[in-house]
């Protein structure tokens, strides 16, 4: 039985045309692996030179969790925004479901910041503006991400002026699909109302954006404890500090921006639109002072590299694409 239920005649015809993913895409090297999935680099056979990322999900691994995958696909189909990783195709056979995604090759947010020679408040403000615009679009479509964190913010390409992309919608929820009360997300980025097991809404994403903005300006998280219970108590109290000397050179406008996003009361918390309109984002209050040395040192200290391969491993993508280009060049020479 198809994962996505019964189809109309038009949809059946469309599915029948492309029922085998290998007819449309040349599946290549592995870019990353997960518990029940593998992400492959793939080249479009109709448009040679156009590459995508294909997430291959093992049906056996999601038995009993089909609804979660169906929800993720429904969420992604609603989202078409320049700062959101795009789902372009879905295929399925008896063993796998294949999600064809826009290929993102620029790497993770923190990695790029640490590699920079210069980094300012204004740079952080521009990054947050892109994230806010993407999440605002999501909220307009009635979708709550529920797991916004730096690892899910990726650069589209390796170019210096690359845009930022929001990824990983596995925990996202469509608001009109029912009350949200499930405790989910990543410790350190989750909002107080989630930990308090209260019904919640899109405000939880705005809290997470506040946490990310805090880290972007000092390199360490606003809440930290190796014991999760102690960490959750800190978050439930919503008490955080702008410690000296790390915050001494940061503008009061930036601090006020964070306070409004990391407000304990979700009713008083900034929405994405309010955050975008705030002077630190839309005005000229973000400072140009280079804070790279302090921020990158703290990031290296506080955010240790994961041992697991990332779903979007930029180095692997670039290496494989270069190899393919060299192979094609060799074939031309031989001809």
Angstrom CA distances, 289 to 56, 215, 257, stand at: 45, 17, 18
Annotated catalytic residue 147: yes
* Sheet strands side by side (includes 37-44): 25-33, 37-44, 51-58, 96-102, 87-92
**Which element (helix H / strand E) includes 92?**
strand 87-92
Give the dihedral sign, CA 230/193/311/298: negative
Q: Strand, helix or coil at 27?
A: strand
Rg over CA atoms, the chain: 21
Tokens of 21: 């993913």
| CA atoms lying within 13 Å on the CB side of residue 78 | 22
- Neighbour-count burial for 232-254, b at 16+ CB within 10 Å, e otherwise: bebbbebebebeeebbeebbebb
Give the dihedral sign, CA 290/288/283/116: negative
C-alpha span between 127 and 114 (Å, rounded): 15
Q: Catalytic: which of 123, 147, 168, 205?
A: 147
DSSP-derived letter for residue 306 is P
Tokens of 78: 């609603």
C-alpha span between 81 and 76 (Å, rounded): 10
| Catalytically active residues, by annotation | 147
């Amino acid at each position: 039985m198809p994962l996505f239920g019964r189809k109309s005649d038009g949809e059946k015809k469309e599915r029948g045309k492309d029922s085998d993913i290998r007819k449309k895409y040349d599946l290549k090297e592995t870019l990353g692996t997960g518990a029940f999935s593998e992400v492959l680099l793939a080249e479009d056979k109709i448009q040679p030179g156009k590459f995508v990322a294909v997430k291959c999900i093992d049906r056996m691994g999601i038995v009993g969790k089909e609804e979660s995958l169906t929800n993720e696909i429904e969420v992604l189909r609603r989202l078409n925004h320049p700062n959101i990783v795009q789902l372009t195709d879905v295929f399925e056979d008896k063993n796998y479901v294949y999600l064809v995604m826009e290929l993102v090759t620029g790497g993770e947010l923190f990695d790029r910041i640490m590699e920079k020679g210069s980094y300012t408040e204004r740079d952080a403000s521009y990054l947050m503006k892109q994230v806010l615009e993407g999440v605002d679009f999501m909220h307009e479509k009635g979708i709550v991400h529920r797991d916004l964190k730096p690892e899910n913010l990726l650069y589209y390409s390796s170019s210096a002026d690359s845009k930022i992309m929001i990824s990983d919608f596995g925990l996202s929820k469509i608001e009109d699909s029912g009350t949200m009360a499930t405790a989910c997300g990543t410790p350190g980025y989750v909002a107080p109302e989630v930990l308090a097991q209260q019904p919640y809404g899109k405000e939880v994403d705005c809290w997470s954006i506040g946490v990310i903005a805090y880290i972007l300006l000092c390199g360490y998280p606003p809440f930290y404890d190796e014991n999760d219970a102690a960490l959750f108590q800190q978050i439930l109290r919503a008490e955080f500090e702008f410690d000296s000397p790390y915050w001494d050179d940061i503008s009061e406008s930036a601090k006020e921006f964070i306070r409004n996003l990391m407000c304990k009361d979700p009713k008083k918390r900034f929405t994405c639109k309010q955050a975008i309109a705030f002077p630190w984002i839309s005005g000229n209050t973000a400072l140009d002072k280079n804070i790279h040395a302090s921020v990158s040192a703290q990031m290296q200290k506080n955010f240790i590299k994961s041992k697991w391969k990332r779903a979007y491993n930029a180095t692997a993508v670039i290496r494989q694409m270069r190899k393919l280009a060299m192979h094609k060049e060799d074939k031309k020479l031989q001809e």
